[in-house]
Structure 1
Amino acid sequence: MYCKKIKTKSGQVKWECVADGPRDPATGRRKQITRRAKTQREAKKRVQDAVRSIDEDKIDENSGKHITFDQVASAWMNVYKQTGIKRSTVRIREKEVAILNRHMAKTPIANITYSMYQKFINDISPDYARTTVQGVNTSAGMIFQHAVKDRLIKESPNRDVVIPKKRKTVEEIELEPIEQRFLTNDELNEFLNAVLQHGQELDIERFYLLAFSGMRSGELCALKWSDIDFDTNAIRITKTLYNEDNNMRKYELTPPKTNGSIRSFEMDNKIMQLIKSHYRRQKKIKMKYRSELEHDGNFVFCRVNGYPYIQKNIVTRMSRLLEYTNIEKKATPHIFRHTHISMLAEAGVDLATVMERVGHDDPQTTLKIYTHVTKKMKKDASAKVSNLYENALSNINL
């Protein structure tokens, strides 16, 4: 090791020590490690620590202090996009990275400490939903792991970070009971009656299918006739429809949300007869308007030109139909998924079968709805027994 006094550009006098680092495994050459400090002893120690870090941990802390967070994030995103991940998920990650870059884009990756990162999480928590903050933290973790693999940092600074929990107000708790997530039997019947009386083309087929299958609206839009087996009354789910800008001609068919979402299930015979009638009508329409057919993807629910209906169309139709009901819940097509879980629970179907049928969407939500309905059934059972044997109970002398 060689040390000497130097004068910096600002006029300060410092000690500079230089030593050979470990050989580069690719070139075999040694890289000189230079560090400065106010004293010779401190400069020597900094060089020794740097050499040991590269030798033992293979961490080049000097590079880590010159490569910024946004540079690492960009490199990670390029790799992440090649993993076959769904475009919708990539878009979510891009939004999360944008939040990260607004706060630490030009910070050297090696300078981001646990305390600094925890402060960042604390700072953004009041401005975003907790699920969003969790997503941001997940993206940050993958970016930091990319830096670890590149030997820019030793470990991820977001390890063991705490995501603050937002305390709900009494009003929020009272306004968000589990019952808000699904339609009761009366509400479902009211909505389906509105469908029958005021529904437009394909409303009956689509909303009845959503209610009695528990499939996602994207899965419904992606259904092809090859997914329907009229002999066994089975429907197969292997894909979902993704549409970034609501342009029907720019749709994508992607794998379902999770591996568990790939599934087949048996449908009620009346629903299948409804779909079969639609199949016959669609064949006649294709023959009549074949000159207008631009695209033939064999979709169950498609326009005259052959392009599939997108999720936004179902949302719009549902909003219109809700106007004919007294339902006050904030209902979107996804509520039928939760409603189907409650229907299965009330029918006495076991939890494992329920999760398999709906494709194990959100196990927490599924469990909450299932537990709520089954508990209510137990209470109702007690009340029914009391009513049935009211006379016998009235004879008890207390």
Structure 2
Amino acid sequence: MWIENLPNGKYKYIERYNDPYTDKSKKASITLNKNTPQAKKQALALLQEKIDKLTNQDEITSKITLVELYDEWFSRYQKTVKQRSAIATRKVIKKVFKNIPPDMLVRKADRQLFLKFLDEIYTFGNLSYSYTTQIKNTLGNMFSYAVERKYLSKNPITPIKIKRKKDEEENYKQKMDEKYLEKEEIYQIISYLQERNQTRLHARIIEFLWLTGLRYGELQALQWKDYDGKSIDVNGTLGVYNKAENKTKKISPKTIASNRIVDLPQRAIDILEETRVLNKISFNKISSTDYLFLSNRGMPLSISAFNRVLKNIEKDCHIDKTLSSHIFRHSHVSLLAELNLPLKSIMERVGHSNANTTLKIYNHVTKKTRDEVMEALNNIK
């Protein structure tokens, strides 16, 4: 530390330190009114505190290990998410512990360690970009908790950026096209299913999903009391499906934003009114607490049974896309994007507060629409 006299009669106390990001020497300073032994002692303490903040060098002495951090964090995390999200997180952490020692001290964790890990599993490995991003985000959440608890001074995951591999980037457009169905494909599937008595329920479900953007679990959980003739109140998802006891359990929806009122176009209203009549014929009576779309067993059609039919459709209708219940939700986003509706209104309709896939489909479809406009203008003669 050295001292400089200032023109105003005060004293600047200066000390050098190394920038942790550039390793270059820099100076930190403070100004005091006096140049006495007591002032020098005060200056040393203040300069050290300032340098610690500039270099993020808080004193961390915790001996908590990575697996101990995970256990502590996960015990809280699992109470804030759905069971399926908790299960997925457990699988992610198993992957991490296969590559990084679980007994590693958390305070020793640094960016290079995890950058190398992510490179090994993605850049030079065979995991997908989306799954690698999921792993990174899970680690980021866990280490944010560690910073809050002062187990380490900064999150080593935050600065890491995963760059999509070139071959994945080149296939991006094609993959986005495969995430949703065009209108012609939707109508082809519906027409095919309507030709068979045993799959007409599937046809009504598909068209309703496409017109509303519901998740399949949200559709399963709909009860007649949630329908007022013009809209549906989406307020749950089907959490338990027990064939043996013929029981279902309605639980809270995926997120807070999932609670929403969805206005219905006329065709969706027609589908529900047709379903009401068919249910009454099949089961003699309808109560307000009955579910809407019922199989011949009187229970909501399970997602596994629904997806099995979709797998057969891929082959029978020669559709070169992976069909699942969720593709109709994506197709609804695509439909609304083609109608040039604002992204915010689409996200509110499908119940998304942070919707990466919705945003990707929206941008992809609207770009395609802009390209079609330019093509039409360029072809004017």
RMSD: 3.4
Task: In structure 1, list runs of 5 or more residues that go unmatched.
Answer: 1-48, 291-295, 387-392, 394-398
1:182 to 180, 183, 203: 180
| C-alpha spacing 1:239/1:59, structure 2 compared with 1 (3 Å) | farther
**Contact kept in structure 2, 1:248 and 1:310, CA below 8 Å:** no
Deviations 1:258-306 (A, max 9, x none): 4433322322323322321221332343348x9xxxxx96211234555
Matching residue of 1:374: 369
Contact 2:275 2:293 in 1 (8 A): no
2:313, 2:319 within 8 Å by CA — same for their partners in 1? no
Larger Rg: 1
| Alpha-carbon distance, 1:376 to partner | 5.1
Deviations 1:10-42 (A, max 9, x none): xxxxxxxxxxxxxxxxxxxxxxxxxxxxxxxxx
Asked if 1:311 corresponds to 2:306, the answer is no
Letter in 2 for 1:365: K
Q: Which residue of 1 aligns with 2:20?
A: none
Amino acid at match of 2:306: I
**In 1, are the aligned partners of 2:67 and 2:102 still within 8 Å (CA)?**
yes
For structure 2, the 5+ residue unaligned runs are 1-47
Number of the residue aligned with 1:118: 115
Cα distance in 2 for residues equivalent to 1:200 and 1:282 = 15
**Does structure 1 retain, via aligned residues, the 8 Å contact 2:225–2:289?**
no
Q: Is 2:319 the partner of 1:327?
A: yes
Counterparts of 1:311 and 1:115, CA distance in 2: 42
- Decide whether the 8 Å contact of 1:346 with 1:373 is kept in 2: no
The answer for the alignment partner of 1:146 in structure 2 is: 145
Distance of 2:256 and 2:268 partners within structure 1: 26
**CA deviation digits over 1:151-184, x for unaligned, max 9?**
332222323123243221697457x254333222
Counterparts of residues 1-398 of structure 1 (less than 5 Å):
59=59, 61=61, 63-64=62-63, 67-83=64-80, 85-102=81-98, 103-125=100-122, 126-168=125-167, 172=171, 176=174, 178-198=176-196, 200-230=199-229, 233-242=230-239, 253-287=250-284, 298-303=290-295, 306-360=298-352, 361=355, 362-375=357-370, 377-379=372-374, 382=377, 386=380, 393=381
Alpha-carbon distance change, 379 to 359 in structure 1, aligned in 2, over 3 angstroms: farther
Q: Aligned pair in 2 of structure 1 residues 77, 245: CA closer, same or farther (>3 Å)?
A: farther
**TM-score w.r.t. structure 1 length?**
0.69
Q: Tell me the SS of whatever aligns to 1:241.
A: strand
Once the two structures are TM-superposed, the CA of residue 246 in structure 1 deviates from its matched residue by 9.5
Partner secondary structure for residue 104 of structure 1: coil
Distance in 2 of aligned mates of 1:60 and 1:350 = 48
Question: What is the DSSP-based 3-state SS (H/G/I as helix, E as strand, rest coil) of the residue aligned with 1:181?
Answer: coil
Assess if the C-alpha contact under 8 Å between 1:224 and 1:298 holds in 2.
Answer: yes
Alpha-carbon distance in structure 2 between the residues aligned to 1:146 and 1:345: 37
Letter in 2 for 1:191: I
Which residue identity is paired with 1:91?
I
Deviations 1:321-368 (CA, angstroms, capped at 9, x unpaired): 344323222232222223223333444544443333233443422322
Q: Distance in 2 between matches of 1:323 and 1:156?
A: 48
Does the CA contact (< 8 Å) of 1:345 and 1:373 recur in 2? no
Match in the other structure for 1:14: none
* SS state at 2:272 partner: helix
Shift of 1:127: 3.3
Contact 2:334 2:362 in 1 (8 A): no
Could you say what secondary structure the match of 1:264 adopts? strand
Q: Across the two proteins, how many residue pairs are aligned to each other? A: 320
Identity rate, percent: 22
Evaluate the alpha carbon distance shift between residue 300 and residue 150 of structure 1 in structure 2; reply closer, same or farther with a 3 A threshold.
Answer: same
Helix, strand or coil for the counterpart of 2:164? Answer: coil
- Judge conservation of contact 1:346–1:377 (CA < 8 Å) in 2: no
Counterpart AA for 1:368? N
Distance 1:247 1:133 in 2: 38
Greater Cα offset, 301-310 or 327-336: 301-310
